[in-house]
Structure 1
Amino acid sequence: MHIPSQSDMAEVTRLTRNGRLREAMALLRRGQTGASDAAKAPQTANGDTAMPDPGEVARSMLGAMFGNAADATASQTPAPAQSRFRRARAKPAQDDPRFRTRRYSAVAGSRDYKLYVPTSLPTGPVPLVVMLHGCTQSPDDFAAGTRMNELAEEQGFLVAYPAQSKAANVKKCWNWFSAADQMREQGEPSLIAGITREIMTEHAVDPGRVYVAGLSAGGAAAAIMGAVYPELYAAVGVHSGLARGAARDMASAFAAMQGANVATVPVSRQVVPTIVFHGDGDTTVHPANAESVITQASAGDRFSVTSENGRAAGNVAWQRTIHTDPDGRAVLENWTIRGAGHAWSGGSPAGTYTDQNGPDASREMLRFFFARTA
């Protein structure tokens, strides 16, 4: 893969932040860098040209796409389809004894996580929902935007929020596009699974009611977790994300986010019950990726398929496609929110990347999760 010069990278960053992703992609795929660019690049101690690390280039650029493409859209005069998008600045959570920071360490590294233990938690084994935030977000931010802690108090379950570190990704994106972070018992999947298992060991968790969900890069990470740990997670929620294998490097990640090659994503080895939400006005992750997530989760099995249409808060139209097994139970659900952008549907303005209107993705995910063990 061609490694861009620093001047190329500056231009790619500018194009990405302005939403001109095709031009950024073309520049990244361009052939050899001109001599004038090389002359501008910094020099190492022995006089050689210092080239950026390919891994850092990938993490930085994918972070720029997830973290800033929506910002660029929101900062412009919004079209009607984008007017509901909210990029708020989340307030830090107050010191809450129910919501504490923990740290998990293993061979693959260490990650902080926050665990919410509601006061209403019933005795006996309870469900656990693992929530994976998007780029630039934090556990506090994601909890506020999805209102998942409030729902935990209402319905009685544990919620965990693994936190991506800036050391692993400058924009705090889960590295879903890295081949090494898409494998079982390797990289970030091993850390997220380790956090899940640690909570299961220390609390009365029902092993048949453990779920994982995420937004954007976190949604892509959730799809990976369901695919590589189907025995650990009973169901998966993917909001504005991508399927496992949609990308293996920076170039394919840019292409996947623009909707290219999504049909070539490999299917899972076994059916992974999955619910998907995606706005058809999303300019950060192309809506075509939603169907790719569903196709992968189906493992090639055929189900009875029905569709229904409705309207939610703010007169927002939606379509839900349901794949049911012979017993009539929903195995896959794909929600398309008309006109919605890259934001959590039905979320709270207290968090970033939320849309107050549209169907309540948090409640609908919990309904789908818990119905499987009802």
Structure 2
Amino acid sequence: MDEHRERWWGRWTGAMRSAWTRLVAALRRLWGRSEATAALPPVTEADVADAPANFVAPEMAPDAVVVEREAVPALRGRGAFVDGSFSNAAGVRPYKLFVPAALAPGPRALVVMLHGCRQNPSDFATGTRMNEFAEAQGFVVLYPGQLDRANHLRCWNWFSPDNQERGRGEPSLIADLTRYVIETQDIDPRHVFVAGLSAGGAMAAVLAATYPDLYAAVGVHSGLPHAAAHNLATALSAMRHGPATRSQPMARVPVPTIVFHGDADTTVHPDNGEELMAQARWAIEAKADAGNGADMAVEEGQVEGGRAFTRTLHRDAQGRCDAEHWLVHGSGHAWSGGDGKGSFTDPKGPDASAQILRFFLEHPGRG
């Protein structure tokens, strides 16, 4: 075994022992048992060989701390899906990072995916199939995770004023984690995007509003607009009835936005999707396009054997679609076109993952 393989062997053996110990401890707590720790399954040389050559083990960032991380062996012929934990002054959150076995030539893209309530990064990856797209197209996917102690339903706290501003709370944590991955994975800063579902979609909207210099485009699925609420009571109202007030033109940097929402969603009112479009289009710069040839187009479509949808495209003065709204008819609070093995998915709808990725790749940052 050469030096490189010995190094991987040592790292993975230690990581697997640590993971196995924590798993057994968790099961003991769950079942109320006190048996001794079970033996660690043997690690074979083949496990070490599965590590993709292009995976870069993250190092300590100067303005943040990686509390815990461990590589998990990838399935043979597939990319690596690794666990980590990241902190800054706002707190600590776990994450998972998917790095494909073969990165696409040219700029490395990064897609940040924010799960919804009662979900976690692994479940969200399964439901959206984003790792499969990443493996096929050669981009990196980051899945920040929420903690039970931060929100008992594992929702991102998008409705708290502390989490609606740049440099504070959960937005700062996710933004710093994003910068960390950009640096350690050699990501092109012009190709960094963020998307989310439900509370994750609402937090994606917050990030687009507060870090328009970091994220080139945003995808919001079944979410809410930035600052739609300022506490739990107003959050529930916005979710049930839509935004209490409508956006007015403001000095906001426009970020290309794609929205998916089911018109049968009884968890987050579909009017929130319309308000997201208003925020995207009513930024001062975007509003100026209205007198310079900008237009809107509406298309009706049908998934074969599945749901009908209405797609609305807003084009700027140069004819580029900078805001896109998909209203999926008959769909509830679920990721459209998702895999039924994950939670909160609607396999009958148009493929939100494919369309969001298409939109992202059409909108690189200004760089």
Which TM-score bucket, shorter chain as reference?
Answer: 0.7 to 0.9
Residue matched to 2:358: 367
Mapping 1:143-182, distance limit 5 Å? 143-182=125-164
Q: Tell me the alpha carbon deviations over residues 275-326 of structure 1, each in whole angstroms, 9 at most, x when there is no partner.
A: 0000000000000000101111221513311100000143311000000112
Mapping 1:52-71, distance limit 5 Å? none
- Counterpart check, 1:231 vs 2:213: yes
Structure 1: distance between partners of 2:267 and 2:363: 32
Flag the structure with more relative contact order, 1 or 2, with Cα contacts below 8 A and sequence separation at least 6: 1
Does the CA-based 8 Å contact 2:104-2:137 persist in structure 1?
A: no
- Counterpart check, 1:117 vs 2:108: no
Structure 1: distance between partners of 2:109 and 2:353: 15
- Counterpart check, 1:292 vs 2:283: no
Structure 2: distance between partners of 1:155 and 1:248: 39
Identify the match of residue 323 of structure 1 among 301, 314, 320: 314
Does the CA-based 8 Å contact 2:100-2:140 persist in structure 1?
A: yes
Identify the match of residue 266 of structure 2 among 283, 287, 300: 283
Q: Tell me the alpha carbon deviations over residues 58-108 of structure 1, each in whole angstroms, 9 at most, x when there is no partner.
A: xxxxxxxxxxxxxxxxxxxxxxxxxxxxxxxxxxxx853700011111111
- Counterpart check, 1:338 vs 2:329: yes
Q: Does the residue aligned with 1:218 lie in a helix, a strand or coil? A: helix
Structure 1: distance between partners of 2:221 and 2:297: 21
Q: What is the deviation of 1:125?
A: 2.9
Q: Work out the number of aligned pairs and report it.
A: 281
Residue matched to 1:129: 111
Structure 2: distance between partners of 1:348 and 1:250: 31
Residue matched to 1:247: 229
Moved more, 251-260 or 98-107: 251-260
Amino acid at match of 2:321: A
Structure 1: distance between partners of 2:279 and 2:300: 24
- Which structure 2 segments of 5+ residues have no match? 1-71
Does the CA-based 8 Å contact 1:323-1:330 persist in structure 2?
A: yes
Amino acid at match of 1:270: V
Residue matched to 1:81: none
Q: RMSD of the TM alignment (CA)?
A: 1.6
Q: What is the deviation of 1:123?
A: 4.8
Relative to structure 1, the CA distance from residue 209 to residue 133 in structure 2 (aligned partners, 3 Å threshold; closer, same or farther) is: same
Structure 2: distance between partners of 1:161 and 1:370: 19
Structure 1: distance between partners of 2:228 and 2:93: 25
- Which structure 1 segments of 5+ residues have no match? 1-93
- Counterpart check, 1:357 vs 2:348: yes
Q: Tell me the alpha carbon deviations over residues 180-201 of structure 1, each in whole angstroms, 9 at most, x when there is no partner.
A: 1111010000000011000011
Q: What is the deviation of 1:254?
A: 1.4
Identify the match of residue 254 of structure 2 among 250, 265, 271: 271
Amino acid at match of 2:347: Q
Q: What is the deviation of 1:250?
A: 1.6
Relative to structure 1, the CA distance from residue 369 to residue 134 in structure 2 (aligned partners, 3 Å threshold; closer, same or farther) is: same
Amino acid at match of 1:122: A
Residue matched to 2:189: 207
Amino acid at match of 2:305: G
Q: Does the residue aligned with 1:205 lie in a helix, a strand or coil? A: coil
Structure 2: distance between partners of 1:123 and 1:315: 35
Q: Does the residue aligned with 2:122 lie in a helix, a strand or coil? A: helix
Structure 2: distance between partners of 1:181 and 1:170: 17
Amino acid at match of 1:177: F
Percent identity between matched residues is: 52
Identify the match of residue 180 of structure 2 among 194, 198, 205: 198
Residue matched to 1:16: none
Residue matched to 2:299: 308
Relative to structure 1, the CA distance from residue 105 to residue 225 in structure 2 (aligned partners, 3 Å threshold; closer, same or farther) is: same
Structure 2: distance between partners of 1:327 and 1:264: 27
Amino acid at match of 1:297: A
Relative to structure 1, the CA distance from residue 262 to residue 330 in structure 2 (aligned partners, 3 Å threshold; closer, same or farther) is: farther
Does the CA-based 8 Å contact 1:126-1:205 persist in structure 2?
A: yes
